[in-house]
Structure 1
Amino acid sequence: MHLTNINQASEFVTLRPLSTEYFDALIEIAKDKNIWTHYPMSLHEPDLMRGNLEQLLQLQAARQWIAHVVIAPNGEIVGQTCYLNLREPDCGVEIGGTWYDAKYHGSKINPAAKLLMLGNAFDAGAVRVEFKTDELNLKSRAAILKLGAKFEGIFRKHMKRVNGTWRDSAYYSIIDSEWPAVKAGLEARLAAR
């Protein structure tokens, strides 16, 4: 498995590799504190977000993360999504670091972005794609299940939240044998008007 950046568009979303040209738009969206409620960090302050984006580019250069900017059909930048925890010898990867402008929550942006990312991962030879979220983030947990991922369990006291409390993380995965059915389900979901 050898994953690369996605530079693709569908009817519902465009994914582009993260670069400095997108920083200002992402920083503006990230000012919404509600985005960071269930994250292990809060990036609503412009300097913090800029530092995070610069760090993502460094992690990308080291092939530890592969970050993408998510763009709506109208050309508006709406957030980011990433590959992380790349385990190329084991043909596994996590999709995460995902956040969107609140006005796009519940739209076709997320399932369309995940369809492109999952397709790219499985086409590159992945046998396992995983997702994780805060156990308390019920919206994210429902969205992951709606993608077709299987719940695997809870990692207790997995990481600290911004407020210093311990986060338990809910883990999910899609494996290669499940991908054809998951893909068909996502395509049907996106085709529904």
Structure 2
Amino acid sequence: MTSERAAAPTLPGQRERLEGRHVVLEPLDGAGALELAQVLRKPEVFAGGFGGGPAGLPGTDRAFADWLSGYAPGPDAGRSYLVRSRTGEALGTTSLYARSAERRSIMIGYTAYDPDAWGRGLNPDVKRTLLEAAFSRGFHRVVFEVDERNERSQAAVRRLGAHEDGRLREDRLRADGSWRTSVQFSILEQEWPDVRAGLDARIP
């Protein structure tokens, strides 16, 4: 693959499911958002910065579903997914968003998993699935941005094989009104074969 390729990168279809080794990524809808309330409406999920941090935690499952439907990127902005196990268990959510056809770049984010699934090898499988979807559809650069306070997520992105590009100082507000500084990482298409091999070795 070279930077001279003329074809514009494309997103997966709006109704397209993405399949990993042990996970299925389904397009997120209202029913899925309500289902996710059971596994994501937890203080430990928001403590890492999801939803703008602890102050953003909705008070009820319905409030969470309504909030998530507006928070996650919609079809005009990207693709948002409900992450399921192969047996149908709802495990979390993630998104492809901020596509730039000119720069052939896209971001992966808005990711959160059920705390009961942490440490089970879920993230490498989900990220491999999304990265494959991006690079196979013509994107050159995949970007991740993580709250500088969220050391767990930063470590997870580094373990993917992503390069730390720098920090975006006070680039957005958290739910409590404080400024967030984001750590930015990226993976380039020429790095993808090695990154993919590393992820394959980590997914049981």
Give the structure-1-normalised TM-score: 0.90
| Residue in 1 that maps onto 2:19 | 9
Task: Indicate yes or no: 2:192 matched with 1:184.
Answer: no
Mapped partners of 1:87, 1:52: distance in 2:
26
Task: Indicate yes or no: 2:61 matched with 1:53.
Answer: no
CA-CA distance at 1:164 after TM superposition: 1.8
For structure 2, the residue ranges without an aligned partner over 5 or more in a row are 1-8
Mapped partners of 2:71, 2:172: distance in 1:
19
8 A Cα contact 2:147 2:183, kept in partner: yes
Mapped partners of 1:10, 1:120: distance in 2:
10
User: Which stretch shows the higher mean deviation, 100-109 or 171-180?
Assistant: 100-109
- SS of equivalent to 2:124: helix
CA-CA distance at 1:128 after TM superposition: 0.3
8 A Cα contact 2:25 2:84, kept in partner: yes
8 A Cα contact 2:42 2:57, kept in partner: no
Mapped partners of 1:61, 1:188: distance in 2:
33
For structure 1, the residue ranges without an aligned partner over 5 or more in a row are none
CA-CA distance at 1:52 after TM superposition: 2.8
Mapped partners of 1:43, 1:65: distance in 2:
23
Q: Count how many residue pairs are aligned between Structure 1 and Structure 2.
A: 189
What's the C-alpha RMSD, in Å, of the aligned pairs? 1.7
Residues 107-126 of structure 1 correspond to what in structure 2 (within 5 A)? 107-126=120-139
CA-CA distance at 1:47 after TM superposition: 4.2
User: Which stretch shows the higher mean deviation, 94-103 or 83-92?
Assistant: 83-92
Task: Indicate yes or no: 2:39 matched with 1:24.
Answer: no
Identity of aligned residues (%): 30
CA-CA distance at 1:140 after TM superposition: 0.2
In structure 2, do the counterparts of structure 1 residues 43 and 66 end up closer, same or farther at CA, with 3 Å as the change threshold? farther
In structure 2, do the counterparts of structure 1 residues 155 and 26 end up closer, same or farther at CA, with 3 Å as the change threshold? same
